């Protein structure tokens, strides 16, 4: 495995707090995913690709932004693997590489939309302030 991939893999695992080697690839996480049809890589594939160090395709995948962060995959996993946390960690890595991970509380009022769910605001603030 390439040294950069190994470093990225360990950073994603550290950031997510997930042990991908616990995955037995049963697919229950993907079977319960409401965004399954929209995703290029499904939750069980994210877990496997991170575990194997095949991170590059994930960094440019639209699946990063199709994940709803609903954590249905987390609830369904019989082994306690948390695929959504891995997706979020990969997404955060991409955001940090792009240098677009800075959001302050003062930035939020101008971004508000009356139809935007409050959960989306909190989620965005959490992701872009780390």
Distance, CA of 48 to chain centre: 13
Rounded to 10°, the helix 43-52/3-16 angle is 130
The whole-number pLDDT of residue 81 equals 94
**In this structure, what token pair is assigned to residue 56?**
């590059």
- Check if the beta carbon of residue 46 is closer than 8 Å to that of residue 12: no
For residue 93, the model assigns a pLDDT of 86
What superfamily would CATH give domain 3-99? Alpha-helical ferredoxin (1.10.1060.10)
Q: Which residue has the tokens 């996480």?
A: 29
With a CB cutoff of 8 Å and minimum separation 6, the contacts of 106 are: none
Q: Is the pLDDT of residue 17 over 70?
A: yes
Q: What pLDDT, in 10s, does the model give residues 89-114?
A: 998 888 887 766 566 677 777 777 78
Rounded CA-CA distance 126/124 in Å is 5
Given a contact cutoff of 8 angstroms between Cβ atoms, the answer to whether 9 and 53 are in contact is yes
For residue 90, the model assigns a pLDDT of: 92
What's residue 1's pLDDT?
A: 52
Domain-wise residue ranges, the chain: 3-99, 102-130
């Amino acid at each position: 495995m390439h040294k950069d991939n190994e470093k990225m893999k360990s950073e994603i695992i550290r950031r997510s707090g997930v042990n991908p080697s616990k995955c037995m690839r049963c697919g229950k996480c993907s079977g319960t995913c409401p965004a399954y049809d929209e995703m290029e890589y499904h939750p069980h594939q994210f877990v496997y690709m991170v575990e194997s160090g095949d991170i590059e395709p994930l960094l440019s995948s639209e699946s990063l932004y199709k994940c709803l962060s609903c954590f249905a995959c987390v609830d369904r996993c019989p082994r306690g693997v948390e695929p959504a946390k891995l997706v979020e960690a990969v997404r955060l890595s991409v955001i940090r590489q792009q240098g677009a991970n800075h959001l302050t509380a003062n930035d939020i009022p101008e971004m508000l939309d009356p139809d935007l769910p409050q959960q989306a605001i909190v989620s965005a603030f959490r992701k872009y302030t780390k």
